[in-house]
Each structure stands twice: as structure tokens, then as C-alpha cells.
Structure 1
Amino acid sequence: MQPRQREDEKWAEQIKKERQFEELEHLFSKAKRAQENVLHLFHEAWQGNRA
């Protein structure tokens, strides 16, 4: 394998890892928003029961 080809493969692998990491960040952000929504709904329900 030529050095240039190896270098290109390393860059391609790095880009793939970065995209996977960005996707995980996006999924984590969605999960965090969903968690906040559930906690908000729970809080509203709790306040409703106390009124």
C-alpha cells in the first residue's frame, strides 16, 4: 500500500469517527430534551395534585 493511500484511509476513518460522534451528540441532546419534558410534565402533574 502506498503512503498516500494509507494517509487518505486514515483521514477517511477520522471523518467517519467524527460523524459518528456528532450523531451520538445529537441523539444525546434529543434524549436530554425528552428527559426534561418528562420531568416538566411530572412536575405539572405533581403541582396539580397538590392544588
Structure 2
Amino acid sequence: MARKDALSSLRTILVRRRDALRNALNGDLTLLKELRSESPGDVIDAAVDT
């Protein structure tokens, strides 16, 4: 059972990290969209459109 417990613990840790990365990416995209609406810029527009 030690192996099963270790895998369960590892899975929990990895799921938390995955969720944290997803939240960070969502925040970054939100920030880019806010910047796009505040001031038009070709580089930001291209980054958001891709």
C-alpha cells in the first residue's frame, strides 16, 4: 500500500500545480486583453489574436 499512497500523494500535488499554472495563464491572458483595450498596440494585438 505504500506505493499506492505515494502515487495518490503525488497525483494530488501535480493536480494542485496544474491548477495553479492554469490560473496563472488565465491571469496573463486577462492582463493582455486589458492592455489591448486600454491602448492599441500592434504587438499586443498580434499576441492576443494568436
The alignment's TM-score, normalised by the length of structure 2, stands at: 0.76
List, as ranges, runs of 4+ consecutive aligned residues in structure 1 with deviation greater than 6 Å: none
Amino acid of the residue matched to residue 34 of structure 1?
A
Specify every segment of 5 or more residues in structure 1 that has no aligned partner in the other structure, as ranges. Answer: 1-10
Other-structure match for 2:20: 30
Aligned residue pair count:
40
The 5 A counterparts of 1:34-45 are: 34-45=24-35
The alignment's TM-score, normalised by the length of structure 1, stands at: 0.75
The higher relative CO (CA closer than 8 Å, separation ≥ 6) is in 2
- Two-structure CA RMSD over aligned residues (Å): 0.7
Among 18, 22, 38, the alignment partner of 1:48 is: 38
The Cα of 1:49 is off from its aligned counterpart by: 1.4
Other-structure match for 1:17: 7
